[in-house]
Chains A and B, each alone.
Chain A
Amino acid sequence: MRIQDLPRGRVVAAVALAALILAPATVRAADSVSLPDDPTAKGLAIAEATDRSNQGFGDTKASMKMILENAYGETSERELRSMTLENPNTEEGDWTLNVFDKPRDVDGTALLTYAKILDPDDQWMYLPAVKRVKRISSVNKSGPFMGSEFAFEDFSSTEVGKYSYKWLRDEACPAPVADRTCHVTERYPEYEHSGYTRQVVWTDTTDYQPRRIQYFDRKDELLKTLTFDDYRLYLDKFWRAHDLFMENVVTGKSTRLTWQEYSFGNGLTENDFSTNALKRAR
């Protein structure tokens, strides 16, 4: 595995630039997705259309805030900054570097992830108090992220190959876009150690962005519902939801995750996603 690849980093920047120029044409292509009739093929085609709508984003920087609420209405906050670099190699997932700001006792702790499709991700954690970078196990897919209702696997990049699919029906999208039509598909995790038997995804037929996901636990009972809201368009092509609300229907706990200050085309390279960069991440 390569940590460093300078020329490829420049290629990524070039791809991002090309995406910028070609963006209007690509949006029109997404409008006219032709779908097969077979439910399995149709489910896959919908996932591929969603994936295509995000291809060529290059890199992003954003900051995230989570508000965790328990069944008694008590809240606590998490804040982190996130950088992502698109991996042009479609056999692997993207690179992500998260740096935590809150809670304050974990200020400066950072997490570097090289996502994979079916294999466990490569993951390193930086502990600022002892200046230590530690390679950690990433099989903890179903564990809670920072004590929130989001599991690690709910964050991982949604590469098409991670699931198999089945189209169920088309129906009105959930509020606040109930005037639109959504494809409702089921997807089944193909990677190991998932906490879910299946997920049901509502995909907006106008932009192929997810509007709602229901998560079914290992006993195939409804566990959580995630609602996507406040979509904004970047570079005329890339949709990003800024408000994600995860409700645990079993425990009554919830987490509201909001994104702020999204920026694209930051000129990030693989140098910014090395274990050495992890030590200096801010």
Chain B
Amino acid sequence: MDRGNRPGWGFEMRFGTIGAGMALAVAMTAAAAEAAEISVTGYVEPELQVFTQSASGAEQRRWNTSVAAEVTYEAFWDNSNQWIVVNPFLRWDLRDGERTHVDMREAKYARVVDNWEFRIGLDKVFWGVTEAVHLVDIINQTDFVESIDGEEKLGQPMASVSSTWEIGTFTGYLLPYFRERTFASLSGRPAFDIPVDETQTKYESGAKRQHLDFALRYSNTFDIWDVGFSYFRGTNRNPVMIPGLDSGGRLVLIPFYAQTDRVSTDIQATSGAWLYKLEGFWQDQLDEQNLQATGGIEYTLFGIFDTPSDIGLVAEYVWDDRGANSQNPFANDVFLGLRWTPNDAASTAILAGTTVDLDTQAFGLSLEAERRFGEDYFVSLETRFFGNVPRSDPIFSNSDDDFIQLRIARHF
């Protein structure tokens, strides 16, 4: 696998940055002229990872360390009706050259005129209501080297228009450039056992990364109901992983990005201490129709035992109409989560979760604990363990990468 020939980040982002760069330049000039309110915040966060099992790959090690840093520059003016946000993220990783990366999470100009909102640049958008799996959230690509839970996202070049009326909020998105998913290298952990060869990445569309995707969304609140309906047409963020050979004749996985037509919905009912959630999509991709859904409950016991502590319970089910398949690890899975928050001054929180595959009885366990130290330090501890994972399961590759991870963030 030859990584030296991969186009650099700057080259890849050329298309997306032209529009955003011009808009930002105009906005920054305006901000300077209008005495904007400016804030600069951020953090530096060293990380230590310990892997409890011996490595399956020759280049993998039992421990790793890395440092992440993020800066958010914001300028608001015109009575906060116009603003720009520039938010670069960086991680340096001791072992994995693929995890050492820079990403512009946001670099956008936005403007509000009455009930209209316009945004242009690199931005992040979240859709959905559930906790364990985010099925309908599709605008941004997953920054998979950051976390295998899919919560970390890459900045997406876009222009969006949103308008809010009594009948709801309508938003349209134009997505002119595609971001490829990030994958760990042979020396990274957690990683696939078979290396991902991103030099051979394939697209269904001849336009490849330049395919113009678009999306529409409607959302509104009706009493206890928060509902959203969305449509997406373009390059699926989730690649199909195809086995192939690299230039040296070795077995590799090649990401294939298909075109998809997708309608989705996300619904939450909030009643007392109970939240009821459902989200799902129907999509047409590679001449195959597919339905996926997830839903469940979140319940909070407030002030247990006459203390300020809360206990939150989450139970969700994930379903795929294709049944167990090699593309989706969550085809018939249950997630159970338990969160304890003492509501103390240090914002302590502990979250324990388990995911069980009802078809294979494979399971994952996670335990996360966090609290603040002093005014500016935030410490988080995370462990992930896998058990009973069969070879056929898409997460089999990660199942020998159980780990304990400590992060200490210094905010400024």
Contacts and interface: CB of A to CB of B under 8 A. Distances in A.
Interface of A: 1-6, 68, 70, 76-77, 102-108, 120, 122, 130-137, 139-140, 142-144, 147-148, 193, 195, 218, 271, 274-276, 280, 282
17 contacts: A1-B221, A1-B222, A2-B166, A4-B164, A103-B376, A104-B375, A104-B376, A105-B409, A134-B129, A135-B268, A137-B275, A140-B310, A218-B306, A271-B164, A274-B169, A275-B219, A280-B83
Contacts of B220: 3
B361 interface: no
A241 to B, nearest CB: 23
Chain B at the A interface: mostly helix, strand, loop or mixed? strand
B74 A276 contact: no
Contact of A140 (B39, B302, B346): B302
A183 B214 CA distance: 63
Interface in B13-43: 37, 39, 41, 43
B115 interface: yes
B164 A143 contact: no
A144 B343 contact: yes
A17 to B, nearest CB: 18
A106 B346 CA distance: 12
Contacts of B378: 105
Interface in B35-57: 37, 39, 41, 43
Contacts of A148: 345
**What is the predominant secondary structure among interface residues of chain A facing chain B?**
loop
Contact of B345 (A6, A70, A122, A140): A70
Interface string B385-412: 0000000000000000000000001011
Given A1-B221, A105-B411, A193-B302, 8 more contacts: A70-B345, A105-B372, A122-B221, A130-B151, A137-B272, A148-B345, A195-B303, A271-B115
A136 B268 CA distance: 10
B375 to A, nearest CB: 6
- Lowest 10 A-B CB distances belong to which pairs? A104-B411, A147-B345, A105-B378, A132-B126, A131-B126, A140-B302, A131-B124, A144-B343, A135-B226, A135-B270
B76 A143 contact: no
A131 B119 CA distance: 15
A252 B387 CA distance: 47
Interface string B123-159: 0111011000000000000000000000101000000
Q: Size band of the B side of the interface?
A: 35 or more
Given A104-B376, A137-B275, A282 B76 contact: yes
Contacts of B76: 282
B221 A130 contact: no
Residue among B114, B165, B343 facing the most chain A CB atoms (10 A cut-off): B343
Interface of B: 37, 39, 41, 43, 72, 74, 76, 80, 83, 110, 112, 114-115, 117, 124-126, 128-129, 151, 153, 162, 164-166, 169, 219-223, 226, 268, 270, 272-275, 300, 302-303, 306, 308, 310, 343-347, 372, 375-376, 378, 409, 411-412
Contacts of A276: 117, 162, 164, 169
Nearest to B165: A4
Contacts of B166: 2-5
Nearest to B275: A137
A91 B127 CA distance: 32
A195 B343 CA distance: 15
Contacts of B226: 135, 275
A107 B275 contact: no
A77 B374 CA distance: 10
A282 B83 contact: yes
A144 B343 CA distance: 6
Contacts of A108: 41, 72
A5 to B, nearest CB: 6
A142 B303 contact: yes
B290 to A, nearest CB: 25
Contacts of B372: 103, 105
A196 to B, nearest CB: 12
Contact of B344 (A106, A147, A271, A280): A147
A97 B274 CA distance: 23
Contacts of A195: 303
A6 B165 CA distance: 8
Contact of B164 (A147, A218, A274): A274
B164 A142 contact: no
B126 A147 contact: no
Contacts of B376: 103-104
Contact of A76 (B302, B345, B412): B345
Contact of A104 (B41, B275, B306): B41
Given A4-B165, A132-B126, A107 B41 contact: yes
A193 B310 CA distance: 14
Contacts of B345: 68, 70, 76, 147-148
B375 A103 contact: yes
A45 to B, nearest CB: 33
A147 B347 contact: yes
Nearest to A195: B303
Given A104-B375, A130-B126, A280-B117, A139 B273 contact: yes
Contacts of B303: 140, 142-143, 195
Nearest to B268: A135
A194 to B, nearest CB: 11
Contact of A137 (B72, B126, B300, B412): B300
B274 A137 contact: yes
Nearest to B220: A3
Contacts of A102: 375
A108 B43 CA distance: 14
Nearest to A105: B378
Contacts of B43: 104-105
Contacts of A137: 270, 272-275, 300
Contacts of A144: 308, 343
Nearest to A253: B345
Contacts of B164: 3-4, 271, 274, 276
